[in-house]
Amino acid sequence: MYANGAEASASNEAIEWFTKLHSGQATPADHQRFEAWRRRNPLHAKAYAEIEAFWALLDEPAQRVFAGEAYPSRRPSSRPTAARRARRTLLVGAALAATATLLLWLPGALRLWGSDYHTGWGERRELVLQDGSRVTLNTHAALSVDFSPQRRLIKLLEGEAYFQATHDPARPFLVVGAHGMVKVTGTAFNVYEQDDKVTVTVTSGRVRLYGEGEEGLAVELSSGLQASHDARGTGPVLRVDVAQALAWRNGLLVFTLQPLAAVVDELNRYLPGKIVIADPRISRRVVSGAFDLTDPHNIPGAMGKTLELKAVSFSGALVVLY
């Protein structure tokens, strides 16, 4: 969905800072912390400049609407009430988050258009390839297929897919992503191509995870093991609950003691719109729960009830939790 994880993170942090600084509640210490954050990384300064540029494009009436001030009272108070400040913070954050999502969506869309097979938001798709291998595409995923007498090559362009490769020692089965390559002769495994890394989970047999093509170092994974590779290298091999990790194949998402921000990021993969957390303090809450993916449109409401949060929907395309 995003151009890369670092840019997405910088954009989200920029939205939080812009929202805080325009909420009417920022303290001098907040401004000092903001300046330190902006100087820390060129991506931070770039992301904040983009948010400021977007805000400047809005005319004054539009800014007042987003700030919750389109209809001021006839006798405006000299000091905004707590409710008005909260509403302003909520709406500014929501507007900016929606815009950032739109700006960062395009690279993923281009990858979908260049694929042989793809899925939409919240969709799962079963494929049978010409060699009899089976593939299950998860939400908003895309891949291309290139089979030859020497090898069976799958390019995972976006998202997540579960592979059940038929056994053929003469023709290795390769899954190539932006951040690594998986090589097998016949087994079952899951590959998740994320913004800045690839994660491989094995359900049966053995696979080899390469970071830089076949000439690079490989990590061998067997059933029940998982590993990720990113620009820094291959992470530790973990033993995971495969049923929970791949619960999406049965129409469920299961979370155990995860930060709310991570849960929302995962749920957003299945929605045509976006869930946004307006208050950064809520993002750090540790939560557990299970969500039914058979009707993604019910997820935001169920999430609000399960986690005892308030939710505001903007035309069904944006849901703000606070």
- Domain containing residue 262: CATH number: 3.55.50.30
Domain that holds residue 85: 5-105
By three-state DSSP, how is residue 99 classified?
helix
- Cα–Cα distances in angstroms (integers) from residue 117 to residues 53, 113, 114, 144, 271, in the given order: 37, 9, 9, 7, 19
Is the pLDDT at 104 greater than 60? The verdict is: no
- Cα–Cα distances in angstroms (integers) from residue 45 to residues 53, 112, 200, in the given order: 12, 30, 34
Spatial separation of the C-alpha atoms in residues 170 and 152, rounded to whole Å: 10
| Same domain membership, residue 255 and residue 231 | no
Spatial separation of the C-alpha atoms in residues 181 and 239, rounded to whole Å: 20
Structurally, the chain folds into a number of domains equal to 3
Is 316 among the domain residues? yes
Name the least confident of 52-61, 120-129, 203-212: 52-61
Mean pLDDT of the chain: 79
Spatial separation of the C-alpha atoms in residues 73 and 82, rounded to whole Å: 15
What residues have CB less than 8 Å from 224, skipping those under 6 apart? 202, 203, 239, 240, 242
Of residues 9 and 45, more confidence is placed in: 45
71 — pLDDT class (breaks 50, 70, 90): very low
pTM for the structure as a whole: 0.68
Is the pLDDT at 106 greater than 60? The verdict is: no
Residue type, 291: F
What residues have CB less than 8 Å from 275, skipping those under 6 apart? 264, 267, 268, 299, 300, 303, 319, 320, 321
Spatial separation of the C-alpha atoms in residues 157 and 62, rounded to whole Å: 38
Of the candidates 224, 151, 149, 138, the one whose C-alpha atom is nearest the C-alpha of residue 181 is 151
Is the pLDDT at 304 greater than 80? The verdict is: no
Is the pLDDT at 40 greater than 60? The verdict is: yes
- Give the pLDDT score at 95: 56
Examine the fold and report which residue of 240, 261, 286 is the final residue of a domain before the chain moves on: 240
Residue 301 · residue 311 · CB < 8 Å: yes
Is the pLDDT at 243 greater than 90? The verdict is: yes
- Rg from Cα positions in the chain: 22
Examine the fold and report which residue of 205, 240, 275 is the final residue of a domain before the chain moves on: 240
| Same domain membership, residue 256 and residue 227 | no
| Same domain membership, residue 149 and residue 101 | no
Is 246 among the domain residues? no
Is the pLDDT at 217 greater than 50? The verdict is: yes
